[in-house]
């Protein structure tokens, strides 16, 4: 038989998963604890206050009687007044006094004491330890606080009598009982009402979160422009909402970029395919000579090369994004690498009437790089510079090191890039003037590839440009792979 969670355990874990439930439980427990402990504290203060006021009263009486017995033992009248009359006049908090001689024989008592207190028991309690205070229950169920004290008689202490005073504290007891009754009543009421109040507070506290969740639930790729309204939220949640909105901004931006990217891919793939198809259709429309077919095939080949270059670039970018991509790092002399790129582009620079030069430190500039990728990056930069520089202009490839970094820069005196386009030049398929670049064969992937290569090396790329003056693109790379 397989074990199935009972309905009860599922509900309990479900409840504990709820923030409202946890807050409610927390508030309610805190409230109950507060009421419980403050009431217990007050009760304790009340008990000790009552007890100490009774003890003060008893102490006072003992002092008076002791003084009388010591100073005026022969003044029976005064003693009589104190022991027999004064307490009898009281209605509440009655007290009873008994005076015993040194053989425990009763000398004088408040009338009625025998009805209230078990005198034999009293003697047994005080005989061996006359000086003490304690509590007893009287014959009629009343509570008494008793003080017994030794009292030397006469200035020379001819005899030591015992004073016993029992004060009726049943009024206090019933006050405390009433207190306990109300204590439990209030605690039960708190127990019933507090969770409700706590639940309301908790719900109110998390309502903005729920509203936020509702908004978030509605957001999909078709309405990525929706945002959470910040008004009315407490500031802690407003900052969460703001962060969430910022995340949506980024998502929207990436989403737009991806859709633009897909549209651009489709467009850029379609053009060469259409060209090939058009040429083939025209060629097949009627019979032609070998020379004409040759021309068509050459043109198709050219378009196919463009197409496969484009696909190659896209594949490269897709792979560069994969975390599994590894570089084939080796010690590369960057001056030598720049020299090779210059050699490669020298002919086309000469064709365009552009001076292509290098500025290289005298000593070798060594860095741990992927040679092929770096050659491709610098090649892309050189090709951009040459494509955007008029005849008579200059393109310079240079490098220098700085502590742990190596910088490779390609600068030109070309047409430059408008400031508003500058932040977008590293985007895939971005071309400043798409009509112009299209005719010159650019697909807008060159700088995206350069950026990917820089990032793969743990470095970065930056660009500065001024329209009509020229452009400078810099690669900043760590010299050693472990510095990445």
Ligand X SMILES: Nc1ncnc2c1ncn2[C@@H]1O[C@H](COP(=O)(O)OP(=O)(O)OP(=O)(O)O)[C@@H](O)[C@H]1O
Cβ 380 to Mg ion shortest distance, Å: 5
Tokens matching residue 20: 């409202």
Query: CA angle, corner 127, sides to 122 and 129, nearest 5?
Result: 105
d(CA 275, CA 273): 5
Does the footprint of Mg ion cover residue 414 (CB under 5 A)? no
Out of Mg ion, ligand X, none, which partner does residue 413 contact, by CB within 5 to 8 A per kind?
none
Does the footprint of Mg ion cover residue 446 (CB under 5 A)? yes
**Between 149 and 445, whose beta carbon lies closer to ligand X?**
445
What sign results for the dihedral spanned by CA atoms 437, 441, 442, 443? Answer: positive
Cβ 339 to ligand X shortest distance, Å: 20
Out of Mg ion, ligand X, none, which partner does residue 430 contact, by CB within 5 to 8 A per kind?
ligand X
Out of ligand X, Mg ion, none, which partner does residue 415 contact, by CB within 5 to 8 A per kind?
ligand X
- Residue in 343, 409, 349 with CA at minimum distance from that of residue 378: 409
**Between 145 and 342, whose beta carbon lies closer to ligand X?**
342
Q: Binder to Mg ion among 39, 109, 126, 384 (CB under 5 A)?
A: 384
Cβ 446 to Mg ion shortest distance, Å: 3
Out of ligand X, Mg ion, none, which partner does residue 264 contact, by CB within 5 to 8 A per kind?
none
Tokens matching residue 155: 């200035």
Using the structure block, give the residue that is written with the tokens 């003490």.
132
**Between 169 and 425, whose beta carbon lies closer to ligand X?**
425
d(CA 228, CA 213): 10
From residue 428, alpha-carbon distances to 221, 272, 310, 313, 318 in Å are: 21, 18, 12, 10, 11
- Residue in 124, 129, 164 with CA at minimum distance from that of residue 145: 164
Cβ 338 to Mg ion shortest distance, Å: 18
- Residue in 173, 165, 171 with CA at minimum distance from that of residue 57: 165
Cβ 241 to ligand X shortest distance, Å: 37
Q: What is the 3-state secondary structure (H, E, C) of 134-165?
A: EEEECCCCCEEEEEEEEEEECCCCCEEEEEEE
The residue count for binding Mg ion (CB under 5 A) is 2
**Between 170 and 383, whose beta carbon lies closer to ligand X?**
383
Tokens matching residue 473: 């693109």
Cβ 461 to ligand X shortest distance, Å: 11
- Output DSSP code: residue 457: T
**Between 170 and 384, whose beta carbon lies closer to Mg ion?**
384
**Between 195 and 442, whose beta carbon lies closer to ligand X?**
442
Cβ 368 to ligand X shortest distance, Å: 26
Residue with nearest beta carbon to ligand X: 446
* Of residues 198-257, those binding Mg ion (CB under 5 A): none
Indicate the SS3 state at residue 478. strand
Out of ligand X, Mg ion, none, which partner does residue 233 contact, by CB within 5 to 8 A per kind?
none
Cβ 269 to Mg ion shortest distance, Å: 18
Cβ 482 to Mg ion shortest distance, Å: 32
- Output DSSP code: residue 258: H
d(CA 99, CA 81): 13
**Between 195 and 446, whose beta carbon lies closer to Mg ion?**
446
DSSP states of 356-423: EEEE--SS--EEEEEHHHHHHHHHHHHHHHHHT--TT-EEEEEEEEETTEEEEEEEE-S----TTTGG
Strands 355-359 and 394-402: parallel
Select from 181-189, 266-274, 343-351, 382-390 the region that touches Mg ion (CB under 5 A). 382-390
Binding footprint of ligand X on the chain (CB under 6 A): 380, 384-385, 388, 412, 414-417, 425, 430-433, 437, 442-448, 471
Which residues make up the interface to Mg ion (CB under 5 A)? Answer: 384, 446
């Amino acid at each position: 038989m397989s074990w199935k969670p009972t309905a009860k355990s599922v509900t309990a874990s479900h409840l504990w998963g709820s923030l409202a439930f946890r807050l409610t439980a927390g508030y309610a427990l805190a409230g109950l604890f507060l009421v419980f402990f403050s009431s217990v504290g007050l009760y304790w203060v009340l008990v000790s206050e009552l007890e100490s006021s009774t003890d003060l009263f008893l102490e006072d009486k003992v002092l008076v009687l002791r003084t009388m017995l010591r100073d005026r033992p022969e003044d029976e009248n005064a003693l009589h007044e104190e022991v027999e009359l004064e307490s009898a006049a009281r209605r509440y908090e009655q007290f009873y006094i008994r005076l015993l001689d040194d053989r425990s024989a009763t000398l004088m008592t408040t009338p009625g004491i025998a009805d209230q207190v078990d005198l034999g028991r009293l003697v047994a309690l005080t005989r061996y330890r006359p000086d003490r205070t304690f509590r007893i229950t009287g014959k009629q169920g009343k509570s008494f606080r008793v003080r017994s004290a030794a009292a030397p008689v006469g200035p020379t202490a001819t005899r030591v009598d015992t004073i016993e005073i029992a004060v009726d504290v049943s009024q206090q007891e019933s006050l405390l009982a009433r207190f306990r009754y109300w204590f439990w009543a209030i605690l039960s009421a708190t127990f019933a009402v507090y969770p409700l109040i706590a639940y309301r507070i908790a719900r109110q506290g998390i309502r903005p979160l729920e509203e936020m969740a509702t908004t978030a639930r509605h957001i999909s790729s078709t309405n990525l422009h929706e945002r959470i309204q910040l008004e009315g939220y407490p500031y802690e949640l407003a900052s969460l909402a703001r962060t969430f909105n910022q995340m949506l901004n980024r998502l929207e931006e990436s989403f737009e970029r991806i859709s633009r990217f897909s549209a651009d891919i489709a467009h850029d793939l379609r053009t060469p395919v259409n060209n090939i198809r058009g040429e083939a259709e025209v060629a097949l429309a009627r019979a032609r000579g070998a020379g004409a077919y040759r021309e068509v095939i050459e043109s198709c080949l050219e378009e196919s090369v463009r197409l496969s270059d484009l696909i190659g670039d896209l594949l490269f970018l897709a792979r560069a994004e994969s975390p599994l991509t590894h570089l084939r790092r080796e010690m590369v002399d960057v001056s030598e690498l720049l020299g090779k790129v210059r050699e490669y582009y020298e002919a086309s620079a000469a064709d365009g009437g552009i001076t292509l030069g290098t500025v290289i430190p005298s000593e070798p500039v060594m860095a741990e790089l992927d040679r092929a990728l770096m050659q491709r990056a610098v090649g892309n930069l050189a090709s951009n510079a040459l494509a955007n520089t008029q005849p008579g202009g200059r393109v310079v490839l240079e490098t220098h090191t700085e502590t742990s970094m190596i910088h490779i820069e390609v600068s030109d005196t070309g047409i430059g890039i408008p400031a508003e386009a500058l932040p977008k030049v590293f985007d895939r398929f971005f071309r400043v003037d798409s009509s112009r670049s299209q005719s010159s064969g650019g697909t807008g992937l060159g700088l995206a590839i350069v950026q990917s290569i820089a990032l793969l090396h743990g470095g970065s790329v930056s660009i500065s440009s001024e329209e009509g003056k020229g452009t400078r693109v810099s690669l900043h790379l760590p010299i050693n792979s472990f510095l990445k």
